[in-house]
Amino acid sequence: MATGEGAGGLRAPAHTLDPRAVGWWRAQWLLLTVLPVVVLAVLGVFVPAARFWLLLSAAVLAVLGTGCAVLVPLWWFRTHRWEVTDEAVYVRTGVLWQEWRIAPMSRIQTVDTVRGPLEQLYRLATVTVTTASSKGAVRIEGLDHEMAAELAERLTRITQDTPGDAT
Task: List, for residues 68-127, the tens digit of each pLDDT value.
Answer: 999 999 999 999 999 999 899 999 998 888 899 999 998 899 999 999 999 999 999 999
Q: What's the mean per-residue pLDDT of the chain?
A: 90
Interacting residues of 111 by C-beta distance below 8 A, sequence separation 6+: 127, 128, 129, 130, 152, 155, 156, 159
> What is the Cβ-side half-sphere exposure of residue 150, based on CA atoms within 13 angstroms?
7
Task: List, for residues 7-24, the tens digit of each pLDDT value.
Answer: 445 678 999 999 999 999
Sign of CA dihedral 155, 161, 164, 167: positive
Q: Are 128 and 138 in contact (CB under 8 A)?
A: yes
The pTM (predicted TM-score) of the whole model is 0.84
Which CATH superfamily does the domain covering 81-161 fall into? FACT complex subunit Spt16p/Cdc68p (2.30.29.210)
Helix (H) or strand (E) holding 138: strand 138-144
